[in-house]
Amino acid sequence: MTATDSRSDLEIIDAINRGDDDAFAVLYHRHREWVHRLAWRFTQNQEDTLDVLQETFAYLARKFPGLTLTASMTTFLYPVVKNTAIVVRKRKRREPTLSPDTLPDRPFPEAAHPTHDLQILLRNLSDEHQEVVNLRFVDDLSLEEIATLLKIPLGTVKSRLHHALAELRQNPRIQKYYENI
Amino acid sequence: MANDFDQLPADLINQLRQSAQTPSSIPVELDAVILHDASSSISRRRRLRKMILAAASLSAAACLTIFGTLWFSAQSYDPDDINHDGRISIADAFTLARKQAAGDATITQQRIDQLTLASVRLDNSGGAAR
């Protein structure tokens, strides 16, 4: 039902609006991995990631019936995931599960210890530069899609990407990838 | 997009994608919870929408009925209230007489006389008895 469904997102949304509640599962299975990965990127914490995933799709469900998609589903979901991640992180800060004596300096222990070298390198970039690099190369979005999604001019996307890659390229660990071309 | 700012070596892109992977997958139980909650939410909102539509339709129908009744009652006059002023008086008899004088053959003298008598007959309230 889900993996083989050839309908576009727009057709599925139309089906849900017309009363086919099962079509929501198609939409969910199609986008859940991306939402999960994005939520992880923003929270760097497995529990928070799952909270964001759940709340993002709860938000999407509340838009039915009557949702009208004016851009791609990715463009619609990105700000939802981002804002939900911020809310979840703030909520967790207010509700510490550890005693004050044992609280870590940073709220997300995993975030302080990225498991991959490239993640460490990316974290040296500004948030804005990390964002465009991830959207362009990890999520494989076009520059136009990134501009729409971030609500910034196309020229700004190009500028941010240019500066981000220039900064990355100065790192010897990145340079080795260019030497292999 | 073959611009220098938009290109990375393929190996680096692959490594970036690997580095962005989440360390664990989505539990099947969570899938079920999310889909169940979504289904309930959509059904609830759909029911609510139907109720709102039904209530709006009923309100519109009630308004139409009330306004229709008021309009029809305003339009229905006593057959003897010729000038539609809400009461039977000698003015109605005069109006009828003028119409007859103007050539209206459907109005008989007997009808005018009846209306004249009815308009001058007094009831206890001092008005024309009807």
- pTM, full prediction: 0.68
**Distance between CA B48 and CA B40 in Å, rounded?**
12
Res B90 pLDDT > 60: yes
Contacts of B20 in chain A (CB under 8 A): 37, 40-41, 119, 134, 138
Structure tokens at A10: 């727009």
3-state secondary structure of A32: helix
Q: Among all residues of chain A, which has the CA nearest to that of B49?
A: A65
ipTM over 0.85: no
* Residue A181: predicted pLDDT: 62
3-state secondary structure of B33: helix
Percent residues over pLDDT 90 in chain B: 28
* Residue A17: predicted pLDDT: 92
By the 8 A CB rule, do A110 and A40 touch?
no
By the 8 A CB rule, do A51 and A88 touch?
yes
Contacts of A61 in chain B (CB under 8 A): 37-39, 41-42
Task: Name the residue among A29, A86, A24, A87 with its Cα closest to residue A60.
Answer: A24
